[in-house]
Amino acid sequence: MTISFADPSALTHDQLEEGTDFAPRFDAAGLVTVVTIEAGSNEVLMLAHMNAEALALTIDTGIAHYWSRSRGKLWKKGETSGELQEVVELRTDCDQDAIVITVKQTGRGAACHTGRKSCFYRRVSLVDGAVTLEDTGLPKLFDPKDVY
């Protein structure tokens, strides 16, 4: 199946924000920001990016695909680790320049390459005038050295 998207520049403001055409507004690098949350708990698992190919594959296969900016290539989430993300719902924001994807996290339940459930396992704290990171205690569900 070939998935295509409407051209956002061909839509009026009202069509973009109130219409039924899915017209993702990719940035200058051809990417759209994606927030991934876990179905059921609504916990934020990760933030990533998709290009048109990754978005089309995600819709077509029902498995989350992203664009890895650090590796410069398409990335099927969990292909190496077994931590696949089954799509439950995909939403776009009002002006279609950001996506929220709700997933069922498979495998051991780790979305983060560090082996944790979520990539957001540290909180920012202000201690004696210094900004520091504090571990929230989210346990590792696997050892990345054994997986990657």
Where is the binding site for Mg(2+), in residues?
93, 95, 97
The contacts of residue 146 (CB under 8 Å, 6+ apart) are none
Tokens linked to 83: 């931590």
Burial classification of residue 89, based on how many CB atoms lie within 10 Å of its CB (0-12 exposed, 13-18 middle, 19 or more buried): exposed
Closest by CA position to 107, among listed 86, 138, 90, 136: 86
Q: Count of CB atoms within 10 A of residue 121's CB?
A: 17
Pairing of the two strands 122-127 and 130-135: antiparallel
Tokens linked to 140: 């590792």
Q: Where is the binding site for Zn(2+), in residues?
A: 94, 112, 119
Q: Where is the binding site, in residues?
A: 93-95, 97, 112, 119
